[in-house]
Amino acid sequence: MASRVISEFAAQEEKRVLSRKPVLAPEHGRYGDHPHQVYDAWPGTDGAPLVILLHGGYWRYDRMHLTPFAAYLNEQGFDVLLPGFRRSGGAGGYPETFDDIARIVDTLAQGRPYVLAGHCSGGHLALWCAARGLLPPGSRWHTRDLPTAVLALAPLTDLAATRRDDLSDGAAVQLLGDDPLFAERLPETDPMTLLRGAGTTGVPTVLLHGAADEEVPLTQFSDYAAVHHDLRTVVLPGTGHYTLIEPGAPGARAVADTLHEMAAAFPTVNGGGGATGAAQRSR
C-alpha cells in the first residue's frame, strides 16, 4: 500500500497538537501492580461529572500527549481520570491491553456514573467497553456492568478495515496478531463485529468526529453508524482529527459541550473528587 499522503492543513494540525508540552496531573494513582497500570487524576469540585479518558496512539503510544486535553476538561468543570495501560509493541496487545481496559472501567469509577471517552484507538477501546455485554458469557471480558455513557472521538471502529487500509503501519495486526490469530480474536475485540446483529449496546453513545479528518477514514464513522441503530453522531465541519483534543480549539469546546450534555442525564450523586477505595491514589 502506498504511504499515506495528508494535506498541509492536517500535517500542521498533527504537529501543533502532538508537540504540546505534557501537563503534570495534581494526583496520580494505580489500579494494578504493572508499571503501566497507573492513572493521572484532575479532581473536580464536589459533584463534578466524572470522565474517564482513554488515549489514542494506535494502541502503541503513551498517554502524555493527552494530558493537556485532560487538564483542559478539568478546567471546563469535569473530574478527569487519564489511565495508562499495557500497549502494543511492549507489554500489551492481545490480551493484555483489553485486560487493562476492562480493569480500568470495572474499578476506577467506584460506583459513580461517568462518561467513558476515548480518542482514535482510545475511541475503539471505549466502544469495545460499551459492547462487552454482547460478548459470550464465557468470555474473560463479558460483563453487564457497562459504562454510564460513551463518547467516541474520531474512533477506529472497524479493526478489519484498519488492517485492510494498513493504518499506522500495521497497527491492527500488531494489536491482535496476524492470521490465523487476527481472525480468531476479531469477534471479541472489534466494536463493529460485536454490534452486527444486536444493533445497539444499550449504552448511550455519541460518535463525534471532524468532517476534515485525514487520519481515520470517514467510512469508519459512517459504517459504524449504519449498524448502531441508536447512536448519536456529531460531525464538526472543517475540523480535523487532532483539534478535537486541542485545548481551546473549537473542536475541543464542542467535545466539552457534548460531555456536559451527556453528564446532564446522569442520576444525581453526592460528592466528587474522583476514584477512591480499590484504586490507590496519591499526590
The 10s digit of each residue's pLDDT in 20-48 is: 999 999 999 999 999 999 999 999 999 99
Q: What rounded mean pLDDT belongs to the chain?
A: 94
pLDDT per position as a tens digit, 196-238: 989 999 999 999 999 999 999 999 999 999 999 999 999 999 9
Q: What is the pLDDT of residues 134-175, one digit of tens each?
A: 999 999 999 999 999 999 999 999 999 999 999 999 999 999
Whether the predicted pLDDT of 75 surpasses 80:
yes
pLDDT for res 279: 52
pLDDT classification of 129: cutoffs 50, 70, 90 = very high
Can you name the residues that pair with 276 across neighbouring β-strands?
none
Q: Nearest-5° angle of CA 126, CA 102, CA 24?
A: 70
Residues contacting residue 172 through CB under 8 Å, at least 6 positions apart: 159, 160, 162, 163, 182
Name residue, grid cell 450523586.
269
Confidence of residue 120 (pLDDT cuts 50, 70, 90): very high
Contact 229, 203 (CB under 8 A): no
SS3 assignment, position 8:
helix
Residue 276 has pLDDT above 50, yes or no: no
Torsion of CA 152, 158, 159, 164, to 10 degrees: -130
The class of domain 8-264 in CATH terms is alpha beta
d(CA 70, CA 211): 23
Q: Among the residues of the chain, which ranges form H helices?
A: 8-18, 67-75, 96-107, 121-130, 159-164, 171-176, 181-189, 191-195, 218-227, 250-263
Mean pLDDT score, 74-92: 97
Is residue 282 scored above 80 in pLDDT?
Answer: no
